[in-house]
Amino acid sequence: MDISQTSQKLERYHSLKGKSIMPSLFRWKKQGMVAHVRKGIYLPSDLQDKFRIACNAVEEGCLVYHAALEYYSLQTQEFNWLYVHSSSIFRTFTYQGESYIYKPVKFLYKPLVVDKDNPYPIRVTSINQTLIDCLYNINLAGGLEELLYAISELDHTLVNEKDMLHCLELYGSKSLFQRAGFVLSHFKDDLRLSDYFFKACKEGMGKNISYLINPYYCDSFSKEWKLCIPANAMKEIQKDCYYEI
């Protein structure tokens, strides 16, 4: 039986929970048609795509942060875990050697849905939201160097500065405007970002000094963006940094 037929049976199972469907489920499992993914959730056993599993083993799952970067092939390393947004809280679970971790984002703006007609579609934050999400929580992007690599690999035709500004406004974080303005200013030409984008970032940022990452690692300072930054990690892109003496 192919995956589409199996999925139809599973859809029927999930719609008839609590009724006399359990014997059929156990039979499908015994026949190797379905696999138990986590409590109460079964998927076709031949479903191997970790991105599809992430999006369909939880309610309204969506790839976020580093998982989204990995889906877009904008990462230097593959983790054996994926960050997943869901409309319902779920406990971390492991399936086929991958761990799936609940990491909700504040909002979903224009998420990309791949293969809508597939029984198990993929949902992922847009390139533009992914950038802003990762600048908001750099640790969940895999760290600063991982994020800088991702940005350097971006195709400028996929970047929409209006969408990024909208995401910045939805976050409403002054320090995020600082981080976005500082980091993306070093990729201004490559990403074809306008002066208006950076003007908006400066209007949205506060007057207080902020930090790009953990203050312990920040030993340089950007006067323009009032941002403390790590000199070593930023050495290849720093142009407006002034070292503290």
* pLDDT number for residue 170: 98
Residue partners of 91: CB distance under 8 A and separation at least 6: 38, 102
- Under a CB-based contact definition with an 8 Å cutoff, are residues 108 and 62 in contact? yes
The phi, psi pair for 80, rounded to 5°, reads: -95, 30
Q: Where are the alpha helices (DSSP H) in the chain?
A: 3-15, 22-30, 50-56, 65-71, 127-136, 144-152, 161-171, 174-185, 188-191, 195-204, 231-234
Q: Calculate the average pLDDT of the chain.
A: 86
Q: What is the pLDDT of residues 76-97, one digit of tens each?
A: 888 999 999 999 999 999 999 9
Q: What is the pLDDT of residues 228-237, one digit of tens each?
A: 999 876 665 5
- Under a CB-based contact definition with an 8 Å cutoff, are residues 38 and 46 in contact? no
